[in-house]
Amino acid sequence: MGYLRFLSKGVISIQDLGILALVPRLFSIIFVLLIYIFIVRIIKMVSSDIAVMMKKKSSGNVGTYLKLLNIRSSLDFPISESYEIAADVKIGRDRTCEIRIDDPFLSSVHAEILCREDACYIHDLNSTNGTTLNGTPLRGDPIELINGDKISFGQLSFIYITDKSEKK
Amino acid sequence: MIRKFGRLVPLIIVLIVSLIGFGILYVSNDGFDTAALQNMAALLVLILASYSLILFASFGDEYLFLIVSMIFAIGIISLLRLDETAAHNQVMFFYVGMVGFFVVYTVYRRLSIWNDPRIVRIYIALSVFLFVVTKAFGSEVYGAKNWIDLGPITIQPSEIIKILFILALSGLYTNYDIKTTKKARRRDAISQKRQLVIMCVAYLYIGFLLLQKEWGSALLYFLIYFTLQYVLGKGFKFLAINAVLAAGGAYVGMMKVSHIQERIAIWRDPFGYFDPDKSRQIVQTLYAMASGGITGTGLTLGSPRYIPLVKNDFIFAAICEEFGMVGGVAVIMLFMLFVYRGIRISLRATRPFNKAVSLGISAMFCYQTFIIIGGVIKFIPMTGITLPFISAGGSSLASCFVSLAILQAISSKEGELSDVI
């Protein structure tokens, strides 16, 4: 056995070899132990992913959010059914946008939704293909959003849902 | 982004495990030559790089590759312990496999032609072509005419055909979706006629495999078809028909086919079987696993070379001997995690074709692992199937990587944003 030959190159008596032959066994046990630690870690990572998703699901869609109107399976890129709007959000393809959608018809930073105390406003950021609010193309200044407004950019359509009371 | 670095820890564990394994083998081998050392280092670097790419560039589900790299690491170390040349070849195949992985991933992701009815016909035509070529030019090995010898390399076409089979069936099952009338979208729009067509196509494949005496693969294909029929088909009629056909086929096989009778006899009483040459494989396996016990004999202290074909089909026996029952169970758990991820990807997919393909691939890995490990531990009779990612063999490894790439592509296309947890 190569292992024991290696050991006996030094000055080791035959009695000592008995214990040292346990070393490969020990390493094998550590080896298997590490595999189990690996498995446990993966299960933990998966569970924490599930916990995060469950939290998102249970917190539900309260407050203000954009709900997707398109059929998801007809789209070629990952997209959510709804996007929560808690604060100012930018919408676009760029990674810096809070609402990041990989739609080729969106500009890198396409539009933004600004949220003030009692209302949110939509503002098109000079996008290539434009943004439409209830059918009318947006220009220039931010426009206030009310519950039920339909927003379109690129090939996507969203409905704006909020429980904020309307400014009268 | 930063917190993602914590997700590298499991991969670090894979690397540590590999280094420990290499370390033990280095010492027991009185060292390796520099080529082998470079190979091993390159392998670990490649695994780290690929996983980082998948993780940080959001190439889809990160767990798939993570689990596969651990499975592959265990496989490589077992193989290195058995046969240095085979391990070297396996690493070479891994390089090719990884290149293929990224190529297939990109190609599958970019194009949406995979369920086009014309392409589905190409899948079937190509499969038939490969079957015919195998029948005509194949060489018979261990009773099955399954290999094509191309000089320096041998290919096992049934490994390629497996993927075509899944793609073809998935296409046929979900193609009614292409007509976008509202009526056609309902799940029970699949007609009896269509299911009959699919059944004929499936049995075409299975028929070819039976002609080639590939009992294990025939069983595997049948189980994949049965699973897809159960999930995607309507009503119990076809399931019942298939169950009866399978039972009938199994009965006829047991009564008439000597090859099968042999294997069942060996399975029932391996120690008493009259021809020790034939039963040697399972007998030595049982001895090996028994001597391994719960914690194993320890790497390099077992004697797995007594097991015939240990590098290919029975490598799981070598793992059980040296790493013990705990090692074997760990491998099984890794495969279970992998299949779980695959099924999850299938649930999260929104497009029916992708759902079907990912289900088919998950089922393939699931049944394949079950059949081979079951055969090794004498739970079921032996078959000629390979253990994914672990068995030495270019075709097996290649088809596993291609399947993995397709699964990965589907997971990235549908994204992290589905409602299914």
* Sheet of A143-145, strands arranged across: A99-100, A89-92, A111-115, A120-124, A143-145
Contacts of B27 in chain A (CB under 8 A): 2-3, 6
pLDDT digits (tens, 9 = 90+) for B333-382: 999 999 999 998 998 887 888 999 999 999 999 999 999 999 998 899 98
End-to-end Cα separation, chain A, in angstroms: 89
Contacting B residues, span 84-123, partner chain A, CB-CB under 8 Å:
112
Cβ atoms of B386 and B372 closer than 8 Å:
yes
Average pLDDT, stretch A47-61? 72
Residue at which a domain ends, from B223, B239, B256:
B256
Strands A89-92 and A156-161: unpaired
Rounded to 5 degrees, what angle do the CA atoms B182, B185, B186 make? 105
Residue B302 has pLDDT above 80, yes or no: no
- Top pLDDT among B122 and A23 is at B122
Any domain includes B328 = yes
Residue among B305, B300, B265 at smallest CA distance from B285:
B305
Domain co-membership, B107 together with B125 = no
pLDDT at A155: 84
Contacts 24+ apart (CB under 8 A), B375-379: B375/B216, B375/B313, B376/B285, B376/B313, B376/B314, B376/B316, B376/B317, B376/B320, B377/B285, B377/B289, B377/B320, B378/B267, B378/B270, B378/B282, B378/B285, B378/B286
Q: Do A34 and B322 touch (CB under 8 A)?
A: no
Q: How far is A9 from chain B (nearest CA, A)?
A: 11
Phi, psi at A78, each rounded to 5°: -65, 135
Contacts of A77 in chain B (CB under 8 A): 413, 415
Domain co-membership, B226 together with B299 = no
Any domain includes B362 = no
Domain co-membership, B160 together with B238 = yes
* Number of neighbours of residue B133 by Cβ within 10 angstroms: 12
Residue B86 has pLDDT above 70, yes or no: yes
Q: Assess B302–A contact: CB distance below 8 Å, yes or no.
A: no
Q: How far is A152 from chain B (nearest CA, A)?
A: 20
Nearest neighbour of A38 by CB, restricted to B70, B324, B416: B70
Contacts of B324 in chain A (CB under 8 A): 28, 32
Average pLDDT, stretch B217-237? 91
Domain co-membership, B123 together with B84 = no
The residue segments making up the domain with residue B68 are 1-111+281-352+368-421
Residue B183 has pLDDT above 80, yes or no: no
A49-53, A161-165, B42-46, B226-230 — which is least confidently predicted? A161-165
Going by pLDDT thresholds of 50, 70 and 90, the confidence category of residue B35 is confident
Any domain includes B268 = no
Residue at which a domain ends, from B256, B291, B311:
B256
Beta-carbon contacts of A130 under 8 Å, excluding residues fewer than 6 positions away, are A124, A137, A138, A153
Beta-carbon contacts of A44 under 8 Å, excluding residues fewer than 6 positions away, are none
Give the range with max mean pLDDT: A46-60, A103-117, B66-80.
Answer: B66-80
Longest dimension (CA), chain B: 70
Going by pLDDT thresholds of 50, 70 and 90, the confidence category of residue B177 is very low
Beta-carbon contacts of A45 under 8 Å, excluding residues fewer than 6 positions away, are B7, B10, B63
Residue B182 has pLDDT above 70, yes or no: no
Residue A61 has pLDDT above 90, yes or no: no
Any domain includes B276 = no
Residue B307 has pLDDT above 80, yes or no: no
From residue A118, alpha-carbon distances to A63, A148, B65, B153, B332 in Å are 12, 16, 47, 71, 56
Left if phi > 0, otherwise alpha if psi is -120 to 50, otherwise beta: which for A141? beta
Give chain B's domain count: 2
Element (H, E) at A143: strand A143-145
Residue among B332, B16, B327, B194 at smallest CA distance from A32:
B327
**Residue B387 has what DSSP assignment?**
P
Domain co-membership, B28 together with B88 = yes
- B250: tokens are 């199994």
Residue among B94, B62, B61 at smallest CA distance from B76:
B94
From residue A10, alpha-carbon distances to A20, A27, B66, B217 in Å are 13, 21, 41, 53
* Number of neighbours of residue B311 by Cβ within 10 angstroms: 21
pLDDT at B304: 72
A47-61, B152-166, B258-272 — which is least confidently predicted? A47-61
Q: What does the alpha-carbon distance between residue A135 and residue A149 come to, in Å, rounded to a whole number?
A: 10
Any domain includes B246 = yes
Residue among B259, B261, B266, B294 at smallest CA distance from B281:
B266
Nearest neighbour of B24 by CB, restricted to A24, A77, A81: A24
Domain co-membership, B44 together with B140 = no
Domain co-membership, B98 together with B125 = no
Amino acid letter, residue B261: Q
Quick one: angle between helices B62-82 and B34-56, nearest 10? Answer: 170
Going by pLDDT thresholds of 50, 70 and 90, the confidence category of residue B140 is low
Q: What does the alpha-carbon distance between residue B264 and residue B245 come to, in Å, rounded to a whole number?
A: 20
Going by pLDDT thresholds of 50, 70 and 90, the confidence category of residue B168 is very high
Going by pLDDT thresholds of 50, 70 and 90, the confidence category of residue A58 is low
Any domain includes B270 = no
Strands A131-133 and A150-153: antiparallel
Domain co-membership, B246 together with B342 = no
Residue at which a domain ends, from B241, B256, B271:
B256
Residue B18 has pLDDT above 80, yes or no: yes
pLDDT at B24: 80
Domain co-membership, B102 together with B128 = no
Q: Do A31 and B417 touch (CB under 8 A)?
A: no
Residue among B89, B91, B9, B102 at smallest CA distance from B42:
B91
Any domain includes B193 = yes
> What are the start-end ranges of the H helices in B143-299?
157-174, 182-185, 192-211, 215-232, 237-256, 258-268, 276-292
Nearest neighbour of B10 by CB, restricted to A42, A53, A72: A42
Q: What does the alpha-carbon distance between residue A100 and residue A78 come to, in Å, rounded to a whole number?
A: 10
Any domain includes B103 = yes
Domain co-membership, B106 together with B120 = no
Going by pLDDT thresholds of 50, 70 and 90, the confidence category of residue B417 is very low
A92-106, B61-75, B191-205 — which is least confidently predicted? A92-106
- Top pLDDT among B399 and B109 is at B399
pLDDT at B88: 85
Domain co-membership, B120 together with B213 = yes
Phi, psi at B59, each rounded to 5°: -85, 25
pLDDT at B161: 92
Stated pTM of the model: 0.80
Residue with tokens 């009773």: B143
A6-20, A67-81, B2-16 — which is least confidently predicted? A6-20
Domain co-membership, B137 together with B106 = no
The residue count for chain B:
421
Mean pLDDT of chain B: 84
Residue B308 has pLDDT above 80, yes or no: no
Cβ atoms of B203 and B249 closer than 8 Å:
no
